[in-house]
Amino acid sequence: MNDFKLKLVLSLLGGIIFSFIFILLAFALPLQKEDEGVLKPKSQLDAISKAVQDRLER
């Protein structure tokens, strides 16, 4: 097999494998970020801080 045919075959195989990887990633990764919801304060200090920030925004 001459060099041109070998390069052509290897290029096609590389493209197919490269495309296959991205197709698998498209199915494996989620499209949208899941809704995290409202975060609740972890401590009393967080609750006070949130209340002060809310009060200042008004």
Residue 35 is assigned to a structural domain of this protein: no
Residue with tokens 């209340």: 51
Residue 49 is assigned to a structural domain of this protein: no
Domains in the chain, number: 1
Residue 17 is assigned to a structural domain of this protein: yes
Residue 40 is assigned to a structural domain of this protein: no
Q: Tokens for 45?
A: 């200090």
**pLDDT tens digits for range 1-46:** 789 999 999 999 999 999 999 888 888 877 666 656 666 767 888 8
Residue 13 is assigned to a structural domain of this protein: yes
pTM for the whole thing?
A: 0.46
Higher pLDDT, 30 or 56: 56
How far, in Å, CA of 27 to CA of 34, rounded? Answer: 16
Domain span at 5: 1-30
